[in-house]
Every structure is written in C-alpha cells, then in structure tokens.
Structure 1
Amino acid sequence: MRVWEVGWLGAQVAVGAIAAVNLATAPRLPRARPRRRPRVSLLVPARNERAHLRRHLPTWQRQRGAAVEILVLDDGSTDGTLALVAHAARRDPRLRVLTGAPLPPGWVGKNWACAQLARAARGEWLVFVDADVAAAPMALARTLAAAERWGADVVTALPRNVGPWPVRAVTTAVAQLPLLLALPLALVPRRPEPSLAAGNGQWFAWRREAYEAVGGHAAVAGEVLEDVALARRAKRAGRRLLVVLAPDDLRVRAYSTLRAAWQGFMKNLYPLLGGRPWAFAMLWLLVATAELGPWLALPRPSAAAAVLVQLLVRGAAFVALGQPPWLALVYPAAVAWGLAAAASSAAAHARRAVRWKDRPVPARAR
C-alpha cells in the first residue's frame, strides 16, 4: 500500500473517530423549560424577506415557555416586507417593526441591521434569527434551558436544512458537516481556545451582558463571517460558548435553488477557507484530496475502504443533522460543487466583485 493510500484511509478513519465522538456527545437542545423566564428579544434583520416572513413569523409568535418580544428591522426592502410586518404588529403587541438607518461605510448590511436591533431590544437575552428560519413552539425555551444546563453565555444552533434535496445536500455538506467532522462540539463550552469556536447567525442567542462585553456587532462591522468572529471574541473574553444540534426544533430554508446557494456561498466560502490566497489554496487542495481522492482512485482496495468509511460516517452525520442517510451517496458531488463554488468565491473576492442583497460587500470584509 502506497503512502498516499495510507493517508487517504488514515484521514477517513481520523475524521470518523471525531464524528463518532460528536455523534455520541454533541450537545442538543434539552427537552426542558428554563427554571427562570428572563425577558428575551428575538431579533430579525430583514431585507426583501417577505416570502420567508409570511411562513416563519407565525412560528416565532407561537413560542412558549419564554417571555419574548419580537423585533424585525426592515433594511431597505422593496418587496413589501415592511407592510407585512407592520400589519402583523397591529395584532400582536409583542411584535415591533423598525426601519433601518442608512448603511454606514465599512459595514456589512446584516451586521448594521443586527447592531440596530440590539440597541432597540429590551431583553436580558438577545436571540438573532434569520428570516428563513422556522422555530418549533419550544425552541426558544429550550435554548434558554440549554444555556442554564451548560452555564453558557452564548448559544448557537445548527438547524435542519429543508428544501429540494440537491440544495439540502450541498448546504448540509458544505456548511454543517465540517463542524461534526472536525470540531469536538462537547469541548466547545469547556475549553477557552478561540480555535474551538463556531457560530451560526441563523440562530445565535446571547446573554445581553456578554454581547455588550465583546463589543457586539460594531466590533465585527465589516466581517462577512460575523457569527464566527463574534464566537471567537466570546472565547477570548472568557465567555462560555455552546454549539447545539437542533434539527427537531429549528428548520432553515436558506436557499430554494442551487443557483441561489451558489450566490450565497460566493460571499462566504473564501473567508471561510482562510481568506488569504495561500491559506485558501492549501485548504482547498486538502479538502479536494481527502474527500474526492479515494473516489478517483477506485477500484483500488485502499480507496474502496476509504470510500466505505466515508459513506458510513457521512451517512450518520447527515442523520444527526436531520437529513436522510442516502444523501451520503451524493456527498462527493456535493463536495465537488462546494469546491467549485469556493474557487468562484476566491475569484470574486480577488476582483472585489462580491455582492449580497444587491449591495457590494465592503473591502474590509474580504
């Protein structure tokens, strides 16, 4: 067996070991209510999100077991977002609609919207949620119960991706599986190292005092991956961070088509893979070699063994994230799609041609 064949198989076994530990020990939202009911502000930045809000706003209004206010900030929408939320607010005193101020230079739009929401919020806990997330009735209460159980100042969750199966395959494989395959989630609340930090802005709960102590979104104004940056700041400030799996309580429809997913990942993948040319190139080649190499070397016995381990591990990880195990069969195609999107993301960042929600992404965010 050649050295590179041993490397393939060894890499898959090592990743499988981390995944097995995660599948057995990763924190999940407890089936419990918090012992106390702090006031919670559910904070929703919205720019042209009318379609998502029609489906998901009612799920936030049905939250039980927590004293909640819901703030939606309309960030210059042109699709009727403001009218939809204003109409709902007239029938629900817990719901407030805000109109966003003009975007200052150097800010990413979402970060500016979240900063304004935090200033207007009254809660002891600030829960940032994307408009494309639907929440089960006890999701908020269980998030607070998780914070109590683990003594966390910050709780971030991985929802179940929903939508057409090709979109679920790529979004889960590219955005969620790497956490289960590389980051020991049970250690995140126990260890102080920023390298053991992860954040997901789709559902990001902060004790207000901790949020203000790390500087809030103003401290990451120009960051594309503001959730990861904030999570690392929390670690550096000595705050306890918790990452939970929540496929039963939270569902996200981030993209409806592969084309929309491509556009979204164009913004994120280059900074996610290092954000610098050499770091990006090394990580890109590492992922391509480790994840696709065994498939290209079939039917060598060592490659077949590596592929078998990969399928078993990815199938179990897909199930843990609320997906069917058969998505593991299209995992190589999803990885290839992700690598192509990452290369396109790098090219767009190099040309300073990155746009999101009809706005250019500021250079500092790149």
Structure 2
Amino acid sequence: MLGTALSWIVLISIISIGLSLLGMYGMNVFFGYQRQSLEQAPTVTPLDLMPASLPIVSVIIPAYNEAVNIQDCITSILASKLPNPECLQVLVADDCSTDETQTLALALADQDPRVQVIPVPPRPQDAVWQGKNWACTQAVLQARGDYWLFIDADVRLAPQTIATAVAKAEQDRIGLLSLSPNILCGCLAEWLVQPLMQSILAVGFSFAGVNDPTQPEQAFAAGPFMLFHRSAYEAVGGHQAVADNLVEDVALAQLIKQHGHRLYYAQGLDLMEVRMYQDWAGLWEGWTKNYYLGNGRNLFSTLYSAIVVLVVYTFPWIGLGLAIVLESDERSAAGVVPVILGIGAISMQYYFRLQTAQRFHQPLRYAWLSWLSGILVSSIAVGSIIKTETGWGWTWRGRPLKVQAQ
C-alpha cells in the first residue's frame, strides 16, 4: 500500500512540475507575440488642433434590439466636436427590432435633424443575408457623406473621434480605417473573458501585418469602428459583396486589400469605448457566433487556440494546486520543488497580465480566476465550432444563423 501511495505521489509531482513548466513556456511564447504585435501597433490619438473643415461624414448604426444602447450611442455621436457640425449625418438602421430601439432613436431624431431613422425592410428570401449586412446595405442608400463610418450601437465615441479619424484618413489616403476600442467590462463574466479575447486578437492579427500592403493575406478590421472612404467602399461592393458572411468586418478588410486600397488598423483606446455584452448569456451567444468564423472556419486553428489558452491561463493554476496538495501530504517529501515552480508560474502570469492590462488601459481584476478564464474561453472556442457546424443554438438575440435550404 505504501509503495502504491508513493507511486501516486511521484506521478502527481511529475504532473505538477510538467504543467507549471509548460505554462511558463506557453506564457513566454504567447505574451511575446502579444508584446511584439502591440509594440508595432500604431495609435490614433485625439487631435490637438481641429482642421478648418472636414468632408461630410455619414455615421451608420445597424441596430437590432439595442434599446439599452441606442440613446447613449447617438448622443455621443451628436456631441462630436467638428469644424462644421452640419457635415455630420447619423443613420440608424433599425433591423426589425422588437424592443424600443426605433422609438428611442426617433425621439432623438425629432430633436436633431442630423439623425435619420431607417426602418429596414425584411430580408429578401432569394438570397442569404447574414448579420448586419442587410441593414448596412439599406442605410448606405441614403448616405450622402464622402466618408461612411460604421459603428455598433454599443460604441461610445469621444468628442474628437470623428474629426480625428477623418483627418487621418484624408491625410494618408486611407480606404478603410479601423480602430481597436477600449473594451469596458461590467459583470464578472466580462472581466473573465474580454481581456483574454483582446490578447488573442492581438496575437492572431498582427497590427504590422494587417497594415502591410505587401501581405494581402493579413487583413483585419474591428467591427465596432470602420471608416470607409466612399469610393473605396463602393469599389469593393460594400456589405452586399459579403452578404453571406457573419464576420463581415474581416471580409471587408480582405476586399479592401485585394482591390489595392489602403487598410489601416490602429489602436484608438482614447477615442472610443465599447461594452460589448451585458451578461454571461449575451457574451456566450456573441463570441460563439464569431470565434470559429473569425479563425476562417479552420478546425485545427480553433482547437489549437483553445489548447493554448488552457496552457497559458489554466495549467499554471492546476500545477500549483497539485503542488499544494503534495506539500500537505505528510508522506510526501516531493512537494517543495513543485510548489516553488507553481508559485513561479503564477507570478509570471500575474506579471504578464499586469503588463497586458496596462497596455489596454484596463484595471487588472480577478487575476486569481485566470484558471477559470482559460476554461471559459476554450469552452467558447469549442462551443463555436459545434454551433457553427451543426446550427444548434447558433443564434444572435434569438435570430437563427444557420442558413436554411431553399
């Protein structure tokens, strides 16, 4: 019996040491790629001096059941500091909402003539229109700007954002300028998942590669903020060209590059903020909708990312937990090394997470729950594969996303 117990102790000790070492190696690689991506990331900051004039800008907000967001979103746009406020047009494309979205938007339209609410007709049955593509396509029919800015209803713009972005696009002849926003977290689920998702995006889509015109395969845009020059948008076919694509932001970025227009992806943490989800249910539905597709519907890549997340965020905590169990066993003299390695791995993780939080202008919260964060994000990756491939529960705010056979 004693020999069996010692064998188990040795096995647990080896597993603990292995998990800690693997976690440390994974962190060095993962956060090394993140650091490289962020160090190469351009940053767009608010203008110090307002230009004398700006072209007309049409801000387009596709909205489906956005009663909780729509008023604050429109208000932040109308508060924009512009040299000529009349150059602003705000188009709210209400995509058959069943809540108070249209009513709230119309109330603001009554107060400011720059706001126009467009009731989006039902989607045609003879073609596949996914996500926000139909609503955006209807809105641009009434857009009169030289620049078309597509934002989500959960976005809040700083007063200088529109002027800054348009001036940058004008100066550098940018066909599509997309900004990475400051992500706000409210509930526990957001704090556990959203910071990890920001890191994954920074690692998966290098800012330098995206902005390099010689790398057409590297294309990305952040859906919450996409500023097109009208001519570039029309040249690539706009949202109609990607009608059947749920990840339309990436698809449009690819088209922009393929057609030889300049794609510019930068951090805009001081220019905009977004709280993407309000609770775990919304977060799960939203990320499982996009995660697998964002990986190009690549099964290996998606599963690999799930494993990497577990190695980086969860394994160090399991290794330390096993080491503590060993150390508490009076029969074991093998717990010291695993405990030292486990503490070292957790300390390394805390250091990297603190650096990441500072880079993304976020407080570091619930770092002691990183093990749970890793499990949740890897579950989202697997859940996204299952939902996308089977259609089971693949919805957005109750709308089924699986295309039905005609």
What is the identity, as a one-letter code, of the residue corresponding to 1:233? L
1:173 aligns with 2:195: yes
What residue number does 1:205 align with? 227
Tell me, yes or no, if structure 1 residue 338 matches structure 2 residue 381.
no
Report how many residues are paired. 364
1:305-344 aligned within 5 A: 305-344=344-383
Q: Which amino acid aligns with 2:261?
A: R
Residue 307 of structure 2 contacts residue 378 of structure 2 at CA under 8 Å; is this kept in 1? no
Q: Does 1:188 align with 2:205?
A: no
Are 2:33 and 2:203, in contact at CA under 8 Å, matched by a contact in 1? yes
State yes or no: 1:98 paired with 2:118: yes
Superposition deviation, residue 111 in structure 1: 1.0
Q: Mean Cα displacement is larger for which, 250-259 or 22-31?
A: 22-31
How far off is 1:358 after superposition? 2.5
- Secondary structure class of the residue paired with 2:132: helix
State the 1:276 CA deviation. Answer: 4.1
292-301 or 104-113, larger mean C-alpha shift: 292-301
Q: Which moved more, 1:149-158 or 1:3-12?
A: 3-12
Deviation at 1:82, TM superposition (A): 1.7
Q: Deviation of residue 52 (structure 1)?
A: 0.8
- Any conservation in 2 of the 1:190–1:240 contact (CA below 8 Å)? no
Q: Which moved more, 1:79-88 or 1:309-318?
A: 309-318
- On the 8 A contact 1:49/1:81 being kept in 2, the answer is yes
1:228 to 247, 250, 265: 250
Which SS does the other structure have where 1:196 is aligned?
coil
Relative to structure 1, is the Cα distance of residues 74 and 252 closer, same or farther in structure 2, using a 3 angstrom cutoff? same
1:288 CA displacement: 2.7
User: Is the aligned partner of 1:27 residue 2:42?
Assistant: yes
Q: Does 1:59 align with 2:98?
A: no
SS in 2 for 1:188: helix
Aligned partner of residue 69 in structure 2, secondary structure: helix
Q: Answer whether contact 1:315 1:327 (CA < 8 A) is retained.
A: no
SS across alignment from 2:68: helix
Q: Is the 8 A contact 1:45 1:110 kept in 2?
A: yes
Contact 1:147–1:155 (Cα < 8 Å) also in 2: yes
Give the superposition deviation at 1:10: 4.1
Residues 302/221 of structure 1: CA separation in 2 closer, same or farther (3 Å cut)? farther
Q: 1:240 to 1:302 in 2, by over 3 A?
A: farther
Contact 2:73 2:157 in 1 (8 A): yes
Residues 1:242 and 2:282 are matched in the alignment: no
CA contact (8 A) 1:11 1:290 kept: yes
Q: 1:270 aligns with which of 292, 309, 315?
A: 292
SS of residue in 2 equivalent to 1:65? coil
What TM-score comes out, normalization by structure 2 length? 0.80
Match of 2:108 in 1: 88
Aligned to 2:93: 73
Structure index of larger Rg: 2
1:222 is paired with a residue whose SS is coil
Which residue in the other structure is 2:61 paired with? 44
Asked if 1 retains the 8 angstrom alpha-carbon contact of 2:209 and 2:215, the reply is: no
Is it true that 1:360 corresponds to 2:394 in the alignment? no
Give the aligned residue type for 1:262: W
Tell me, yes or no, if the aligned pair for 1:70 and 1:96 is still in contact at 8 Å.
Answer: yes
Residues in 2 aligned to 1:171 and 1:5: alpha-carbon distance in whole angstroms = 22
CA RMSD of aligned residues (A): 2.7
Q: For residue 304 of structure 2, what is the amino acid of its counterpart?
A: M
User: 1:273·1:280 contact (CA, 8 Å) conserved in 2?
Assistant: yes
CA contact under 8 A between 1:273 and 1:283: conserved in structure 2? no
Partner SS state of residue 30, structure 1: coil
Q: How far did residue 272 of structure 1 move?
A: 2.5
Residue-by-residue CA offset, 1:40-66 (whole Å, 9 max, x unaligned): 110001111122112221111111126
Deviation at 1:196, TM superposition (A): 2.6
SS in 2 for 1:325: coil
Contact 2:43-2:266 at 8 Å conserved across structures = yes
CA contact (8 A) 2:45 2:270 kept: no
- Note the C-alpha offset of 1:110: 0.9
SS at match of 1:69: strand
CA 1:34–1:200 in structure 2 vs 1: closer, same or farther (change >3 Å)? farther
Paired residue secondary structure (2:179): strand
The whole-number CA distance in structure 2 between the counterparts of 1:319 and 1:168 is 17
- 160, 174, 196: which one aligns with 1:138: 160
Partner of 2:184: 162
Specify the alignment match of 2:6 in structure 1. Answer: none
Distance in 2, Cα, partners of 1:201 & 1:166:
24
User: Which region of structure 1 is more displaced relative to structure 2, 344-353 or 166-175?
Assistant: 166-175
Separation in 2, partners of 1:316, 1:150: 31
Alpha-carbon deviations, 1:131-159, whole Å to 9, x = none? 11111111111222333455422111222
Moved more, 69-78 or 9-18: 9-18
Q: SS in structure 1 opposite 2:226?
A: strand
Instruction: Answer whether contact 2:239 2:248 (CA < 8 A) is retained.
Output: yes
Alignment of 1:349 with 2:388, yes or no, is yes
CA contact (8 A) 1:133 1:251 kept: yes
Contact 2:303 2:381 in 1 (8 A): no
Contact kept in structure 2, 1:18 and 1:183, CA below 8 Å: no
Shift of 1:125: 0.8
